Chains A and B, each alone.
Chain A
Amino acid sequence: MLRVSELVNEDASLVSRRCWSDPGVYELEKRGVFGRSWLFLGHESQIRNPGDFVQAYMCETPVILARGEGGRVHASVNSCTHRGLPVCRADHGNTRRFVCPYHNWSYTVEGDLVTIPQESEVRNKPDKSRLGLKRVPRVESWRGLIFGCFDEAVEPLEQYLGDMRFYLDALLDRFPGGIEFMGAPHRWVLDANWKLPVENQLGDVNHGAFLHSAIIPREAQDTIEELGHSVVTRPGHGATFRLMPGDAPVDEVAWGLEGMGGIFGGAEVQDYLRDIQARARERVGDLRARMKGLTYGIYPNLSFLWSNTSFKVSHPRGPGKVEYWSWAVVPAEAPDPIKQILRTNYSSFFGPGGMLEQEDSEAWVQQFRGSNIDFADDRPYFYGLGLGEEGPHPELPGLVSVTANEFYARHFFARWRDDLQAVEGLS
């Protein structure tokens, strides 16, 4: 049995191939990471009305996220208490009851068991109040982002997010009505480990000029190197962005204008985006109005892309399989035709049909293969670029460095190692 201490070295500059491929490590991840962290479940815009629900996952555990009759948000494990079938088979919808197909036990959207059809034929009546769906014990939301946690004792969500809120607000609070998720997520199943998509969008903007050089012009990468900052607010949480000069023209700073929808969507969309930028300073302050984000990551498996506005969740399906979800995200107050154009900022380049992500997904699949070979365990992966070169910044919360510094990934793996060690040997 592998020891966690052998997987990631002290300063996390060396990461074992087995972190990505070992079934035992994956079992530790389930308990140490996914069992104890806040996991993203959905956005309030997806479940506006009582009875609205969407499907979610917490690692491999299927979850129903629903708005209850009283308006509160509930998260229940989507598995019948009778024989374990999923009681909900739709991606999203609105309902009063979830009816299990096997013997028709039925549950409220809050997860309470209300009917056992066979009950009338037996003398001893089961206590239905104890047979509801398993509840996710902690559910909290911040700025419409809903998270759940299986660990009752977890710190409050806002504390968990910490200074990431500062960076998230650079976008979320730019829009008076916040953001909205459009439609059902695109669910892409890949033969890859869940952590590489996460790492990719936690701070790895350096592969852009190389892996994506068929699409991304070198000049775009030069701007990133010149104006780019990489930030870790707490191990596992990070952001990369360009900090534009105070006198940069609005068209170079404004969110949305550098995507395909912004570029080709016409004057109405462009004016709309300029107008948002014109009010950004009063909404989020001078510093954040100048921020032009790249990637964001929230431990363990939520990512957000700024220019190609998308939220993404990397759901593990074993060490070598991932179900990668992504949603287009738009300002909630935008008129419908503008939302329809802005969603192509996401879909043109990202998602299963996107021009850029077809290269990333192939890299992730090939990395898993490389992590699952024999006779190379004395060649762990090198994570040492820029070791120790990060530091505090006068204005930006967290540790800050250039984007080529891989400290975002070292911090991720240091936290990951600690999380696994916390459950290692227990069981």
Chain B
Amino acid sequence: MSGQSLKVKPRQQRALERFYFHEARLLDNRQYQQWLELVDEDIRYIMPSRTNLMVDNRERGKEQMISVERELEGSESMGCPLREEGYVHLMVRVERAFKINAWSENPPARTRRIVGNIELMNRDGNQMQLLSNFHLYYARPGGGNFIYSGQRRDTLLLVAHDFRIRRREVIMDYANIDVPTLGLIL
């Protein structure tokens, strides 16, 4: 997805933002059950791992040489993504959050996320490909404060004038993973 985004009418852009801002608010308010209703049951939720590779001499001078893509071990790769989840995984995560013995989030971490740079990249029938960026502040009681930064590559389904998340790939901007968990819903 390196080309320009689609030209969209302000109203359409506003509808997408409305969806994403609502989602962000649900997550920061810990209303995960409501969040799960935004998710299609066939969802794939992927978080590629990110590696440090040698520069390939033959790629010298080309964009490919330092592209983000080559650093990712995603779901198609024979490496190991950090997360490759379906609806069941997300359901278990949501259920866990409402149990008294989800110890690492008890008391719950405080989060605040800013979602921006929302771009509609492609549209095919009722499916839309979107990019968005996020910064998330995470404060864990008895732990510390952390910043999460990344990009989301989504496929949204248009269902009865509303959206459902059909696929989400989260590209994390880490060198070493120095946050307490990557198991958050991002």
- Give the interface of A toward B (CB within 8 A): 89-93, 95, 182-184, 186-191, 210-211, 213-215, 260, 264, 323, 327-328, 336, 339-340, 343-344, 346-348, 351-355, 358-359, 361-363, 365-366, 369
The answer to whether B155 has its CB under 8 Å from any CB of chain A is no
On whether the beta carbons of B99 and A264 are closer than 8 Å, the reply is no
- Other-chain contact of A353, B52, B96, B183 (Cβ < 8 Å): B183
On whether the beta carbons of B53 and A93 are closer than 8 Å, the reply is yes
Output the least CB separation between B3 and chain A (Å): 29
On whether the beta carbons of A183 and B176 are closer than 8 Å, the reply is no
- Bound-state CA distance A346–B81 (Å) is 10
On whether the beta carbons of A340 and B49 are closer than 8 Å, the reply is no
Interface residues of B in 163-186 (CB under 8 A from A): 176-183
On whether the beta carbons of A359 and B85 are closer than 8 Å, the reply is no
Output the least CB separation between A361 and chain B (Å): 6
Residue pairs across A and B with CB atoms within 8 Å: the count is 114
On whether the beta carbons of B80 and A327 are closer than 8 Å, the reply is yes
| Given A183-B80, A264-B86, A355-B183, A214 contacting B49 (CB threshold 8 A) | no
Residues of B within 8 A of A323 (CB): 176
- Give the interface of B toward A (CB within 8 A): 47, 49, 51-54, 73, 75, 77-86, 88-89, 92-93, 96, 99, 101-104, 140, 142-144, 176-183
- Residue on B nearest A55 in the bound complex, by CB: B52
**Would you list 7 pairs from A and B whose C-beta atoms are within 8 A, ordered by A residue?**
A90-B53, A93-B54, A183-B77, A340-B78, A355-B183, A359-B103, A365-B180
Residues of B within 8 A of A358 (CB): 104, 180-181, 183
- Other-chain contact of B176, A187, A328, A343, A354 (Cβ < 8 Å): A187
5 smallest A-B Cβ distances: which pairs? A183-B79, A362-B104, A353-B182, A90-B54, A214-B99
- Other-chain contact of B52, A91, A215, A343, A347 (Cβ < 8 Å): A91
Residues of B within 8 A of A327 (CB): 80
Output the least CB separation between A372 and chain B (Å): 14
| Beyond A260-B89, A362-B143, 17 extra complex contacts between A and B, CB < 8 Å | A92-B51, A183-B73, A183-B79, A184-B49, A184-B79, A189-B178, A339-B78, A343-B80, A343-B81, A343-B84, A352-B177, A352-B183, A355-B92, A358-B181, A361-B180, A362-B104, A365-B143
